[in-house]
Structure formats: C-alpha cells, structure tokens
Amino acid sequence: MSAALTAEQIAYLSTQKLGRLATIRPDGAPQNNPVGFRYNADLGTIDIAGWNLAASKKFRNLATSPHVAFVVDDIASVQPWRVRCVEIRGTAEALTEAESYISEKPDALIRIHPSKVIAFGLTPEPPQP
C-alpha cells in the first residue's frame, strides 16, 4: 500500500532541510539519525543522500529491514504554541550508483516509499475569539 503526500505536505517539506530517519538495526533496536533529504516529485518518494552514505549504519540497516519512519518537524510559533510535523512511514531502498541530488556523479541513496503519512500543524489555525 502506498500513500501520496498532499500539496500542503510537499510545500512544508520544501521549506525544511533536515529530518530524522529511523531504521531498524539487525538486533531489532531502532536507530534514529538526522539526515538531509528532498522530495522526489517524479516518484513520490523521499530521497536521502549524504557523504559516505553507503558506509553508514542507517544504509546497512536496510539490508535487514526495509521498514523506516521519517520525521520532519519544527516549532512555527511559541506564542501561540504551534508545532508543525510530517511523519512518513514506509519502506526504503538502499540504492548504489543512483542519481544523486547532491552530486553530479552517481552515488548511494536511500529512497523512501511512503505507505502512511501523518501530518499536523501545517495550516495556521484561525485566532480564537
């Protein structure tokens, strides 16, 4: 089952540069790492690239389990308190020699295929009377 991101979710993601990717280690424990990302409009995926990515634990974890969660959030306002968040759950591919958005030469890439998207706080709430 796949889930498509809405225009509102895509617009929010385009304003952010950093997210957190949770993968599952071979011993079954979760591992969470900050990562740069981009939304791949052609495929409807989240693509994650990075320096020496193929040697990273998060990349290697995908050989054991492709299940991931990816979160991008921020605090839009303190007064009033307003948090924005997009969480994407799905499966990921650990690709080698893929077209990368951070380099002109093919490189390692993690590609997330969303199966569930949870989002909140993306639209400002109208002031309360």
pLDDT for the residue numbered 127? 59
CA distance 123 to 8: 8
SS3 78: coil
Nearest Cα to Cα of residue 86 among 116, 65, 125, 111: 116
Model confidence pLDDT, tens digit, residues 71-105:
999 999 999 999 999 999 999 999 998 877 777 88
End-to-end CA distance of the chain: 42
SS3 7: helix
pLDDT for the residue numbered 15? 96
Distances from the Cα of 114 to the Cα of 39, 71, 81, angstroms: 11, 12, 29
The CATH number of 7-120 is 2.30.110.10
pLDDT for the residue numbered 76? 93
